[in-house]
Amino acid sequence: MLSVLQTGRRELRGSNPVIPPHRSLKRSNGNRLGRVERSKATYEKRKANRQCSYGGCLAKSELGHTRCRRHLQAMSKRNKEQYQKRIRDCLCSYCGQLPPFWGVRCIICRQRFTKHPLPYGARRALRLFRDAQKRRERERIQVEARHAVRRLLASGDINKKSAKALRLYAGIDNGKWRTYNEVGQVMKISKERVRQMLLPSKITLTRLLGDSVPWRPVTELNLMSN
Ligand SMILES: [Zn+2]
Ligand SMILES: [Zn+2]
């Protein structure tokens, strides 16, 4: 029974990629947890005595480190080589398993080092893209509204003065929408008078274009006119 348990355990350890096979074989005759505890205690003891924590090394550890200068340098060299190999192989510098995402680490390891799940460059690109989309939509609405204004002007359904105000407001002459104030300045009338003159045309245009108008919804305009 015991041997079955032991082999079962050995197989389990063997399947664990973290523990090299030669070590798992050595461990099969001892209590694993006990060994871990013991090596931890040894490590702590060597650390407290300022002895290099590398097994069997007799040198003193460097100040602020747990290893001697020679073993620190060896560790640093190994890490550097591993880092460079992973970069060469196009793998995450931290786990060495996934491809890097916007830098040297993969999308999962990245989260251990940063607050935002997306890097600054990606966020900026997304923001610019959304801004461009909004701008394009705004321009499309303005172009369509100007077309509708042209059709309305061509129909001749509005009186001369209102037509002039509308032409100036939609910028039929220069391609730029004007404010009530700017229209008022050109026509030498008040801003309020411009609003009153444009209201019937705006209601007609809103009925034609629905929500896609470059001004506030017509319901608000109705309220304002009361
Ligand atoms: Zn050492
Ligand atoms: Zn990684």
* pLDDT tens-digit readout, 48-103: 889 998 888 889 999 889 999 999 999 999 999 999 999 999 999 999 999 998 88
CA distance 68 to 99: 34
> Can you read off the two tokens belonging to residue 201?
């045309």
* pLDDT tens-digit readout, 116-157: 878 888 899 999 999 999 999 999 999 999 999 999 999 888
Res. 115: pLDDT tops 60:
yes
Can you name the CATH fold of 141-225? Arc Repressor Mutant, subunit A (1.10.10)
Q: How far is the CA of 51 from the centre of ligand 1 (A)?
A: 8
Q: How far is the CA of 19 from the centre of ligand 1 (A)?
A: 23
Q: How far is the CA of 109 from the centre of ligand 2 (A)?
A: 4
Q: Please tell me the number of the ligand nearest to residue 61's CA.
A: 1
Domain limits of the chain? 141-225
CA distance 151 to 137: 21
Q: Can you give the pLDDT at residue 212?
A: 83
- Whole-number average pLDDT of the chain: 83
As to burial, measured by CB atoms within 10 angstroms (0-12 exposed, 13-18 middle, 19+ buried), residue 193 is: middle
CA distance 61 to 54: 10
Instruction: Count CB neighbours of 205 within 10 A.
Output: 21
